[in-house]
Amino acid sequence: MKQVTPQTPAAKPPHRRFSGEVVSVSGQKTVRVKVETIKMHPKYRKQYTTRKHFAVHDEKNAAQVGNVILFEECRPLSKTKRWRLIAVVK
């Protein structure tokens, strides 16, 4: 006789969160956000800045160009949008 054990669902990892500056409002409910991070070269130990742009879903059209926003990862909303707006920080 087989023993049946209940399976618990795997815990989902927390969504990644970033903050960045709104570079452009590209269409309805979408903003382009620039995130800058400071990294250090492993050999030469010099700091340098990397920039990455994200397409963020803005449901209420609250963000304007120049605002700093907080956004997190979500399910794919379109070909490039996988992030949603949490709050406008500044």
Domain locations in the chain as residue ranges:
17-88
Is pLDDT of 7 > 70? yes
Q: Does domain 17-88 fall into CATH 2.60.40.3140?
A: no
Please state, in angstroms and as integers, the Cα–Cα distance from residue 47 to each residue in 34, 35, 42, 44, 89, following that order.
19, 16, 10, 9, 26
**Per-residue pLDDT band at 4 (split at 50, 70, 90):** confident
pLDDT in tens, 20-41: 999 999 999 999 999 999 999 9
Residue 1: how many CB atoms within 10 A of its CB?
Answer: 3
**Per-residue pLDDT averaged across 14-25, rounded?**
96
Which residues in the chain belong to E strands, given as ranges? 17-25, 30-40, 47-57, 68-73, 83-88
pLDDT in tens, 37-86: 999 999 999 999 999 999 999 999 999 999 999 999 999 999 999 999 99
